[in-house]
Chains A and B, each alone.
Chain A
Amino acid sequence: MTAIDYDLLHVGDTLPVLVTAPVSRLDLALYCGASGDHNPIHVDIDFARQAGMDDVFAHGMLSMAFLGRLLTDWVPQHQLRTWSVRFVAITHVGDAITCQGEVAEKFEQDGERRVRLALTTRNQHDDIKLKGEAVIGFPV
């Protein structure tokens, strides 16, 4: 990982994009087991239909974990101060997820230089699924 130079960052700069393979049912089963989120609505189509959904759908936190990879591919994890997302729309089986981040603000806080990143995940139709922001610290 090449260290990011705070002084060379500008508002509007973008992070290297991360694109996933289409989310499969196997991905959802693996995430169910690995995450400990055993809500059947993500893996059991009978349950999902009974709950009024057409099909199982991806855990929001799987997409947030993809965004986490985008962030930790860019800076070491210990530079991550806060981040939050809104799950704007459901991520469906077959969606290929594109994770994007953009420098929205440079500022100082708690005696440290920081950037605020605007984050999104979108599917192959460019529909926004997650929207959020993260604050990254650059300790001297």
Chain B
Amino acid sequence: MSSPCIAMIDTTFIGAALPVFSADVDAGRLRFFAKAIGQQDPIYRDEAAAQAAGFAGIPVPPTFLFCLEMESPNPAALREMLNIDIGRVLHGEQQFVYHAQAYVGDRLTFTPHIADIYAKKGGALEFVVRETQVTNQHGVRVAALRCVTVVRND
């Protein structure tokens, strides 16, 4: 059995902040997302339908906050900081904790940091945990996201 001869990810980056950024929730983008995931429920496309269902506007669907994290001016910031090859990464785990509903027209602010870095299988797999707090334009806490990325070194 050969050991992977790849430099391990530098764990001194645990706790490091990633750039804070804001993203606008666009109605057209949410319609495109609804199409891409096969979402037929009209509340995710149509303001009148959303209001009839008791929502203040078209709701941001539950996983779309993860997509908005890609709106960062540099979506590769984490990989560049840790020197990770995009071809070696897999999504390991994803968690959402919801505090308030986000809607079309909101401007959401994302504050990510590196929460943990660890290895398994003698370094053949490495794990990077990114946690992100999301607030809206009124300063209200919307959600917290936790993303575990797996890096294949084998």
Chain A residues at the B interface, C-beta cutoff of 8 Å: 1, 20-21, 27, 30-31, 33-41, 47, 50-52, 59-62, 64-66, 68-69, 71-73, 76-78, 80-87, 90
| Residues of A close to B36: CB separation below 8 A | 27, 30-31, 33-35, 62
| Residues of B close to A87: CB separation below 8 A | 90-94
| Residues of A close to B88: CB separation below 8 A | 51
User: Which 7 A-B pairs give the minimum distances between C-beta atoms?
Assistant: A51-B87, A36-B70, A84-B95, A34-B36, A65-B37, A60-B91, A30-B36
* B63:A68 contact, CB within 8 angstroms: yes
* B62:A33 contact, CB within 8 angstroms: no
| Residues of B close to A21: CB separation below 8 A | 38
| Residues of A close to B92: CB separation below 8 A | 86-87
Which residues of B (32-56) have their CB < 8 Å from a CB of A? 32-33, 35-39, 41, 53-55
Provide the bound-state CA to CA distance between A133 and B49, in Å: 28
Provide the bound-state CA to CA distance between A78 and B60, in Å: 11
- Known contacts A34-B33, A36-B71, A80 near B62 by CB under 8 Å: yes
* A78:B95 contact, CB within 8 angstroms: no
B22 on the A face (CB < 8 A): no
Main secondary structure of the interface of B (DSSP, over half): mixed
Q: How many A-B residue pairs have CB under 8 A?
A: 111
* A69:B87 contact, CB within 8 angstroms: no
**B6-14, B96-104, B106-114, B118-126 - interface stretch:** B96-104
* A84:B90 contact, CB within 8 angstroms: no
- The count of chain B contact residues (Cβ–Cβ below 8 Å) is 38
Contact pick for A61, options B53, B68, B86, B91, CB 8 Å: B91
Minimum C-beta distance from B135 to chain A (A): 18
| Residues of B close to A90: CB separation below 8 A | 90
Query: Which residue of B is nearest A133, CB measured?
Result: B95
